[in-house]
C-alpha cells in the first residue's frame, strides 16, 4: 500500500482569517435578525411638534429635566409663550406618597412603599385635546432600618429620582406618538 502524504495543515494566518469570516458572518446574521424583528435602540424621542410649551416651572427639577429631554429630540424646541407653541403640555399634578407596607413584631416600620403619580394633558394651538388628562404612576418598595436613618433618607430620595426619570420616559413616549390635529 502506498503511503499517503499528510494533509497540509492550515497556516496560523489562514485559521485566523477563517475564524474572522465566521465571526463576521455570525454578527451579520444577528444584525439582520434584530433589524427584521423591529428592534431599535432607544434614543431621543422624535416629537411631531416644532415648538411646545411646558406648563411647569423650569426652576423645578421636573421642569428642568423635561425641558432637557425635549431639547435632546433635536426636532422640538420649548417656548415660554403658550400662544406661540404648536402644542401645550400641561402638568396637572405631580404627587408623591409613602405608605407603610409591614411592621416588625415590636410595631416598628420594616418596609415602605413609595409612589409617584404624574397627571398631564396635551393640547394643540387651538386648545383641542391631543392627549386627554392622563395619569401615570410608579412605585418602589424599600426596607427601613431606624438605626440607619440618614442612609435610608438618601435611599428614599434616590428612589424618588428614579421614579421621576421613569415617569418622564413614559411621558416622552406618549408625546412621541401624539400627532398634531390636521
**Model pLDDT for residues 25-71, shown as the tens digit of each residue:** 888 777 777 666 665 555 556 788 899 999 999 899 999 999 999 99
Q: Is residue 110 pLDDT above 80, yes or no?
A: yes
- Answering whether pTM is above 0.85, one says no
DSSP state letter for 40: -
Average pLDDT over residues 124-141: 94
130 and 179 Cβ atoms separated by less than 8 Å: yes
Q: What is the pLDDT of residue 9?
A: 65
Domains of the chain: 51-177 (3.30.160.150)
Q: Is residue 130 pLDDT above 80, yes or no?
A: yes
Cell (9 digits) for 109: 416600620
Task: Share the mean pLDDT of the chain.
Answer: 86
State how far Cα 169 lies from the chain centre: 4
55 and 87 Cβ atoms separated by less than 8 Å: no
Q: What is the pLDDT of residue 46?
A: 77
Q: How confident is the model at residue 182 (pLDDT cuts 50, 70, 90)?
A: very low
Q: What is the pLDDT of residue 53?
A: 94
Lowest mean pLDDT among 38-42, 87-91, 125-129: 38-42
Average pLDDT over residues 11-35: 77
Strand order in the sheet with 77-78: 77-78, 51-55, 87-103, 109-124, 129-143
CA 98-101-103 angle, 5° bins = 120
Amino acid at each position: 500500500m502506498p503511503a499517503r502524504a499528510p494533509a497540509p495543515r492550515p497556516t496560523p494566518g489562514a485559521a485566523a482569517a477563517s475564524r474572522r469570516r465566521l465571526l463576521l458572518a455570525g454578527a451579520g446574521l444577528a444584525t439582520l435578525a434584530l433589524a427584521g424583528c423591529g428592534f431599535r435602540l432607544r434614543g431621543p424621542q422624535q416629537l411631531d411638534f416644532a415648538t411646545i410649551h411646558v406648563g411647569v416651572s423650569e426652576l423645578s427639577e421636573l421642569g428642568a429635566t423635561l425641558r432637557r429631554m425635549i431639547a435632546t429630540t433635536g426636532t422640538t424646541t420649548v417656548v415660554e409663550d403658550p400662544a406661540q407653541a404648536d402644542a401645550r403640555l400641561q402638568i396637572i399634578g405631580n404627587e408623591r406618597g409613602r405608605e407603610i407596607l409591614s411592621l416588625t413584631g415590636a410595631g416598628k416600620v420594616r418596609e415602605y412603599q413609595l409612589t409617584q403619580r404624574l397627571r398631564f394633558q396635551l393640547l394643540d394651538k387651538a386648545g383641542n385635546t391631543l392627549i386627554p388628562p392622563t395619569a401615570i404612576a410608579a412605585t418602589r418598595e424599600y426596607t427601613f432600618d431606624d438605626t440607619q436613618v440618614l442612609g435610608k433618607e438618601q435611599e428614599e430620595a434616590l428612589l424618588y429620582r428614579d421614579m421621576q426619570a421613569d415617569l418622564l420616559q413614559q411621558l416622552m413616549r406618549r408625546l412621541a406618538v401624539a400627532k398634531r390635529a390636521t
